[in-house]
Amino acid sequence: MRLLVLGGTEFAGRAVVEAALGRGWEVTVFNRGRHPSAPGTRSLTGDRTAPGGLDALAEGDWDAVVDTWSAAPRAVHEAARLLRGRARRYVYVSSCSVYAWAPPAGYAEDAPVVEDAEPDAGQSDYARDKRGGELAVVDAFGAETSVLVRAGLILGPYENVGRLPWWLTRIAAGGPVLAPGPRHLPLQYVDVRDLAEWILGAVERELSGPYNLMSPQGHTTMGELLEACARATGSDAELRWTAPEVILDAGIEPWTELPVWVPPGTDLHDALHAADVSRAVAAGLSCRPVEETVADTWGWLRSIGGTAPQRPDRPRKGLDPEVEAKVLAAGSG
């Protein structure tokens, strides 16, 4: 297989590249050259947001393209139109954010999507940008040779968003830890390596259409996630499980200040942790245990000195230590 990855040096793109190389595929990466490409790849350099930035892609043929672009749909539109007829399949890593708010618990791929998205639009908001990217791919490649990977929460090695790395770092520091309850709160996510393997399998099987791509509902819980962090780091941290209403009353923002966590019984929880993924499972999705995701992410963090890379276009995650201490103190009073 000849694979072209647009990006290919960070998080999801990097995982796809490594998985493809592991299968013996011939891999070309196209990016701005800000990060080193994996050994064994052919590297092309260009900035898809600049005039003439796609010139390096003017020639070449591939079995598939994988694109993880998250900004203006216009960049996806231009790349897909350029590659039309020279690639057999276009895989776009989209997001479950494309669904119209708020999708009900158990929503599948036929749920309504956001409106006012355009395939050749400039940057607007994340949901419309991702939906516009989907439209751009289908516009250029057609529905039968487009794969729309509607990913949910992505965790694992190389994470540059700051969710699991923050929890690992915080728990490794030890002491009392504000653990957002309830402990049995069900979570959905996908390990980035399982995402990558599914994508390559989709190419091999010549799949098409949209797929919700995350673990089955309840694959793990908040308790299992944080306890796995404690075991992986060898920390003596004390997880102090705290009721959702206490956290919210303290003004703490779910998802950002306490990464991964959102209160149960809310639209946000249903949207992020209650999708129907039966279509992806039927098409080969297999999800490793949370213990493995956590341990491997901690091993990667340690190998790079303990500080995870941070995407400049995403806000930093995590709770201010003073706020945490204040809430913990109030709970023990």
Q: What is the pLDDT of residues 211-258, one digit of tens each?
A: 999 999 989 999 999 999 999 999 999 999 999 999 999 999 999 999
pLDDT value, residue 333: 45
d(CA 181, CA 98): 28
For residue 95, which phi and psi values (nearest 5 degrees)? -155, 150
Asked if 70 and 10 touch (Cβ cutoff 8 Å), the reply is no
Q: What's the pLDDT tens digit per position in 107-164? A: 999 999 999 999 999 999 999 999 999 999 999 999 999 999 999 999 999 999 999 9
Q: What is the pLDDT of residue 311?
A: 81
Q: What is the pTM of this model?
A: 0.96
pLDDT for res 252: 97
What's the whole-number mean pLDDT along residues 38-45? 97
Task: Over range 314-329, report the average pLDDT.
Answer: 93
What confidence tens digit (pLDDT) does each residue in 173-224 have?
Answer: 999 999 999 999 999 999 999 999 999 999 999 999 999 999 999 899 999 9
Compute the mean pLDDT over every residue in the chain, rounded to the nearest whole number.
96
DSSP 3-state of 225: helix
Distance of CA 199 to the CA centre of its chain: 13
For residue 141, the model assigns a pLDDT of 98
Q: Which residues of 119-148 are buried (b: 16+ CB within 10 A; e: fewer)?
A: bbbebeebbbbbbbbbbbbbbbbeeebbbb
Looking at the predicted structure, is the pLDDT value of residue 332 above 70? no
Enter the tokens of residue 109.
Answer: 């791929």
Q: Are 157 and 296 in contact (CB under 8 A)?
A: yes
CA distance 300 to 93: 23
pLDDT given for residue 271 in this prediction: 94
